[in-house]
């Protein structure tokens, strides 16, 4: 999901920035929980809090299932005790290791609290001054500052320095794992976005500078410094900034996903800006940290900070508590039902953390999940735990939190145009100057989409944050809201006028990604075997044997149904993804009920000025086998497994697109037919409003007439009764002539 802490997709997301970490939990459990030995799944409940745990557990389990969270762990802290800690789901993808309170997670921007506390130790010792220019310790730190006012540690730790969000090297997207020194040095290539202290500008780069200040001052690597000065005194035995094999042993396997339907394992590279987001920890360790806060800075290994220093960190800096971006030193500040709430959130590839505390009530909660962009869920649960704890103390009924909205709820529909009141006329094509910019940029693990939406160029960044771009000039745009507000996005074009890269904040380079196929050309694969070898093997094989009471096949030649239905049967030509013909005749067949439904969809679309252009319908089984045997394994979601047969083989699947009645031209969709990339997904967010509108017009008409779109191909639709028909392997020549039209 988003770098360490994403910030402004919706009101619920804007509050992420506020959570903390943990400490000496093993000892706490021995001293504070009289509930006997841990349960097999690691659940630990103080007997006096069992009613709360019993009331909330079904709700938490339901949220884990509803949001498809691979693993989730939580801890509730009452002053010096962790009174409830439990895991849900599984550490591993295979479901062999249950998640427990000892499961290790990456906690993202919760890391910042520990970095800032280490600085405050040096402030107490008199070796650092919060309000002195940072370059007094880092003389080589010199980003371009046209505003005159110097940058200080106080500004950096409360996100008021005006620095860019990410450093050019070692940024959130950078998998090269550079050193902290290199990350900070690269900031000299940047310019401050805002004058220091003028406004809040959340900056991972700023906390990297804070951490490097500690490293330079101590002459010791940041990770070992934090281990010795903070984590060990707090008793955080399962936590580290540089994870050991012991820490990694119980690290949850995290999941990335996108609104277009893709899912993949989260990347595991270390961040160059480690002080901003590289901590590994458990809910038990983070719960212990909360207990140390409630104890006035006393951890199991001694006092980490004086109480007065902690109080200073929890006081608003450069603003008041009720502002939407209130920060103390490190801590994000807000109110929960009128009470002071402190903490921080964390979001790093595949992990979402919420650490929250009510310091006046000495109550705290930490919730962590192993699914990207799950921050609204863990935040909702953390607040629910705090409210339930308050009710428990008062002897009131335990309130259940409202279920969190589904992750990215409605975003895919909004981008696709699948919303109430969708216009019945296609949006205009985007301006020509944008066509070379629209596309994908960046890395496989974090794609930047540039798309046109409602007549405005937008960036969809960090998978889920859709932001409009203000056009400043030729190929220059600016974010005015969200994660990167105030930063420019500048494009460089190649000799053909297509953007080759996008430069964010004058620093982070997003290279143009391959589009899968050149405009106007058909996507093709490299055959795994010679085509004739594939053909011989497929013709010699037999379809799978099926049992059941199937309907008698009744294939109809669809081109005979209506004069304005057109054909473009690619598999009868070389213009297909394998570059060879498979059919000797350019014909399209469907089972009669499916053909009748298709005709109804065609007639509905005709009222909007569009007709159906058919690419393929019934497909002999041996052709499906050739497709499967020739296709690389990583592309096989786009072809059917012959061992199960395909819906095409049953005469109940149709591949098609639209053409414009007025011009006769085939419409342009976000991705090409048979393109084996994410651009083929029905929810792919890229392209233009017009392309996505046309894709949705086709989908809506087909779905109203008993077809369902295939999850990886916008052009492929399956008729509802496909399981009732058998797999067939008849060539078109065996099906005879045209069938009488359906009226």
Which region holds residue 687: left if phi is over 0, alpha if psi is between -120 and 50, else beta? left
DSSP per position, 328-388: -SS-EEEEETTEEEEEEEEEETTEEEEEEEETTTTEEEEEEESBTT-HHHHHHHHHHHHHH
Radius of gyration (C-alpha) of the chain in whole angstroms: 29
Give the three-state DSSP class for 443: strand
The token pair at 197 is 């202290």
Q: φ and ψ at 357, to 5 degrees?
A: -145, 150
3-state secondary structure 94-119: CCCCECCCCCEEECHHHHHHHHHHHH
C-alpha 20/C-alpha 309 separation (Å) is: 16
Give the three-state DSSP class for 30: helix
Strand partners, 367: 74, 354
Give the three-state DSSP class for 407: coil
C-alpha 309/C-alpha 181 separation (Å) is: 28
Q: Tokens 């045209």 label which residue?
A: 738
Residue (of 538, 546, 697) closest to 624 by Cα position? 538
The token pair at 442 is 């960046």
Dihedral over alpha carbons 577, 579, 585, 587 (to 10 degrees): 20
C-alpha 483/C-alpha 4 separation (Å) is: 11
C-alpha 605/C-alpha 614 separation (Å) is: 14
The token pair at 309 is 């220093």
Give the three-state DSSP class for 690: helix
Question: Of all helices (H) and strands (E), which one includes residue 76?
Answer: strand 71-78
34 CA to centre of own chain: 40
The CA angle 148-154-155, to the nearest 5 degrees, is 45
Active site includes 215?
no
The one catalytic residue in 354, 462, 557, 713 is: 713
Distances (CA, A) of 305 to 18, 129, 295, 355: 20, 16, 10, 19
The CA angle 362-365-368, to the nearest 5 degrees, is 160
- Say if residues 502 and 510 touch (Cβ distance below 8 Å): yes
- Say if residues 348 and 4 touch (Cβ distance below 8 Å): yes
- Say if residues 510 and 440 touch (Cβ distance below 8 Å): no
Strand residues in 398-549 grouped as ranges (E): 439-443, 446-453, 456-461, 465-473, 476-479, 488-493, 499-504, 508-511
C-alpha 738/C-alpha 526 separation (Å) is: 36
Q: How far apart are the first and last CA of the chain?
A: 51
C-alpha 21/C-alpha 434 separation (Å) is: 45
The CA angle 338-81-363, to the nearest 5 degrees, is 5
C-alpha 696/C-alpha 669 separation (Å) is: 10
- Say if residues 174 and 182 touch (Cβ distance below 8 Å): no
C-alpha 393/C-alpha 227 separation (Å) is: 35
C-alpha 77/C-alpha 99 separation (Å) is: 19
Report DSSP state, residue 318: S
Catalytic residue numbers, as ranges? 713
């Amino acid at each position: 999901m988003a770098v360490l802490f994403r910030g402004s997709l919706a009101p619920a997301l804007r509050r992420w920035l506020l959570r903390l970490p943990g400490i000496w939990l093993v000892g706490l459990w021995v001293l504070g929980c009289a509930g006997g030995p841990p349960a097999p799944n690691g659940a630990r409940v103080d007997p006096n809090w069992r009613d709360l745990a019993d009331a909330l557990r079904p709700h938490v389990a339901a949220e884990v299932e509803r949001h498809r969270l691979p693993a989730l762990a939580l801890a509730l802290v009452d002053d010096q005790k962790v009174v409830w800690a439990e895991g849900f789901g599984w550490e591993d993808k295979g479901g062999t290791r249950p998640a427990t309170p000892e499961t290790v997670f990456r906690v993202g921007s919760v890391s910042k609290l520990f970095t800032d506390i280490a600085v405050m130790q040096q402030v107490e010792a008199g070796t650092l001054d919060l309000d002195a220019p940072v370059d007094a310790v880092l003389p080589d730190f010199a980003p371009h500052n046209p505003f005159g006012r110097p940058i200080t540690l106080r500004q950096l730790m409360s996100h008021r320095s005006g620095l860019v969000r990410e450093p050019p090297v070692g940024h959130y997207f950078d998998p090269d794992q550079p050193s902290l020194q290199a990350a900070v040095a690269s900031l000299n290539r940047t310019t401050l976005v805002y004058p220091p202290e003028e406004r809040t500008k959340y900056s991972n780069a700023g906390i990297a500078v804070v951490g490097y200040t500690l490293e330079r001052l101590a002459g010791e690597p940041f990770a070992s410094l934090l281990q010795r000065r903070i984590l060990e005194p707090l008793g955080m035995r399962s936590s580290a900034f540089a994870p050991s094999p012991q820490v990694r042993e119980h690290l949850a396997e995290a999941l990335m996903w996108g609104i277009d339907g893709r899912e993949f394992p989260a990347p595991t590279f270390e961040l160059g800006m480690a002080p901003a987001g590289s901590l590994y920890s458990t809910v038990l360790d983070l719960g212990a940290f909360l207990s140390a806060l409630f104890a006035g800075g006393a951890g199991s290994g001694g006092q980490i900070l004086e109480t007065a220093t902690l109080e200073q960190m929890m006081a608003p800096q450069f603003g008041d508590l009720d502002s939407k971006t209130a920060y103390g030193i490190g801590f994000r500040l807000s109110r929960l039902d009128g009470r002071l709430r402190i903490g921080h959130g964390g979001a790093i590839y595949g992990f979402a953390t919420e650490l929250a505390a009510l310091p006046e009530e000495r109550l705290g909660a930490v919730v962590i999940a192993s699914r990207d962009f799950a921050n609204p869920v863990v935040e909702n649960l953390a607040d629910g735990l705090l409210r339930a704890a308050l009710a428990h103390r008062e002897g009131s009924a335990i309130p259940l939190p409202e279920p969190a909205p589904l992750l990215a709820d409605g975003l895919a529909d909004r981008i696709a145009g699948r919303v109430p009141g969708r216009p019945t006329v296609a949006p205009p094509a985007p301006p020509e100057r944008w066509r070379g910019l629209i596309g994908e940029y960046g890395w496989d693990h974090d794609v930047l989409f540039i798309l046109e939406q409602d007549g405005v160029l937008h960036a969809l960044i960090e998978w889920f944050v859709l932001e409009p771009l203000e056009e400043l000039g030729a190929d220059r745009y600016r974010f005015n809201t969200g994660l990167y507000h105030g930063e420019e996005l500048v494009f460089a074009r190649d000799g053909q006028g297509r953007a080759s890269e996008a430069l964010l904040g004058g620093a982070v380079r997003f290279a143009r990604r391959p589009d899968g196929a050149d405009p106007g050309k058909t996507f093709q694969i490299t055959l795994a075997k010679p085509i004739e070898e594939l053909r011989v093997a497929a013709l010699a094989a037999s379809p799978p044997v099926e049992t059941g009471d199937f309907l008698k096949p009744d294939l109809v030649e669809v081109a005979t149904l209506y004069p304005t239905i057109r054909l473009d049967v690619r598999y009868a030509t070389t213009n297909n993804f394998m570059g060879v013909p498979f059919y000797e005749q350019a014909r399209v067949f469907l089972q009669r009920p499916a053909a009748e439904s298709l005709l109804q969809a065609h007639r509905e679309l005709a009222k909007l000025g569009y007709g159906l252009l058919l690419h393929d319908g019934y497909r002999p089984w041996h052709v499906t086998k050739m497709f499967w045997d020739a296709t690389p394994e990583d592309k096989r979601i786009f072809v059917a497994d012959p061992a199960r047969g395909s819906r095409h083989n049953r005469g109940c699947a149709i591949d098609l697109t639209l053409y414009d009645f007025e011009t006769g031209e085939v419409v342009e969709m976000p991705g090409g037919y048979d393109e084996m990339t994410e651009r083929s997904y029905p929810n792919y967010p890229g392209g233009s409003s017009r392309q996505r509108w046309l894709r949705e017009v086709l989908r809506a008409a087909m779905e109203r007439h008993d077809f369902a779109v295939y999850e990886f191909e916008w052009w492929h639709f399956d008729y509802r009764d496909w399981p009732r028909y058998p797999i067939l392997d008849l060539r078109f020549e065996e099906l005879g002539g045209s069938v009488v039209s359906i009226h």
